[in-house]
Amino acid sequence: MSAVTDACNLMNNYTRWPIRLVKGKGNTVWDDQGKEYLDCTSGIAVTSLGHVPPQVTERLHQQLDQLWHTSNLFEHPLQEQLAAKLAQLSGLDRVFFCNSGAEANEAAIKLARRYQQKVKGEQRYEIITFRQSFHGRTLATLTATGQDKVKDGFLPLPEGFATVPYNDLPALSAAISPHTCAVMLELVQGEGGVLPADPQWVSAVAQLCAKTGVLLIIDEIQTGVGRTGSWFAYQQYGIKPDIVSLAKGLGSGFPVGAILAGEEVGEAFSPGTHGSTFGGNPLAMAAGLATLQVIEQEQLLQRVGELNRYLISRLEQIKESHPGKVTAVRGMGLLVGIELSQSAADVVSHVREKGVLILQAGPQVVRLLPSFVTTEAELDRLTDALDEAIAAL
């Protein structure tokens, strides 16, 4: 394993693994010592087509020779094409492009407030979110996040946010007031422990929002663009949000974020109300278009479903083989969590030593995020390493 030196000018805000990755292809990455790893993190749900997917690479190379940046003072044909595709896939009408998930959620918060105040003429500004949620690292999005650990040392936080228990309709109903602007919800809490929302509760939340005039924002930063087996997780819950935020898997590793909204809500952003210098740049748009094209042409949404069933069956076998050590297996598509009776850190470390990369999602949950082009043989390698690591607990 390569050694990581402490003599570094980077700020110390990441807990780094002792690995320097220098190359990736498909589902394999290599460190600077030549050791290879099976990547079942997808760069935290980003490289959904594997590393350096050829179709996206080719499209980016073409764009590199044409145009990198112009600013949003000019019309962008590629922005228009990607927006049209996202509108078609989502059933929503308007799209704003940015660079990351945090920026997308910031834009969603601003759009919701502006719609309520300028279009509806109501002094609504409060956003209700849920415990264990994760929405980003900016001041507004970390305030929206339902985890106190991300807020430590950043007081005072912005006003206008409230947090209630997940899957608890009475608590949400009690929190809604005349100042409530929107409810912001992850349908699978990825960072919070891979916790899927209860379908009946989600349906009731959507009805409650419609009844009270509260906008429903669905944070699909981690679940969107096919990760759960449909283009968007909300499509499996039978609801239609007012605003959706996207990032991570939209550009196959090239930074791109977006929010989608219905026509009436989307028109609340008028010239000068919001913007992004790099948002929607030609390279990001090329990556996004190519990514969606590959998922569609290669029928990868269906493939995600097949891989989910195979992976869950293998994990359930591990659970049965180690009574008391694995307490739950859950998730949607290729966002899967394994809840343990002990610390997940030891399992993650043990599996990494065996050349397989996985993640944590809280102290006792292992998070698996394989790419959409993973093979059953690679899932066997993953689950064999997990089986050995859990046996060693």
Please identify every residue annotated as catalytic. Answer: 134, 219, 248
CA distance linking residue 137 with residue 221, whole number of Å: 13
Query: What DSSP string describes 158-204?
Result: PSSEEEE-TT-HHHHHHH--TTEEEEEE-SEETTTTSEEPPHHHHHH
- Helix, strand, or coil (residue 25): strand
C-alpha torsion angle, residues 339, 203, 242, 79 (rounded to 10): 50
CA distance linking residue 280 with residue 62, whole number of Å: 17
* CA-based nearest residue to 221, from 85, 309, 83, 335: 335
Query: What DSSP string describes 328-363?
Result: EEEEETTEEEEEESS-SHHHHHHHHHTTEE-EESST
For residue 379, the tally of other CB atoms under 10 A from its CB is 21
DSSP bridge pairs for 30: 23, 36
Strands 335-340 and 326-332: antiparallel
Q: Can you give the length of the chain in residues?
A: 393
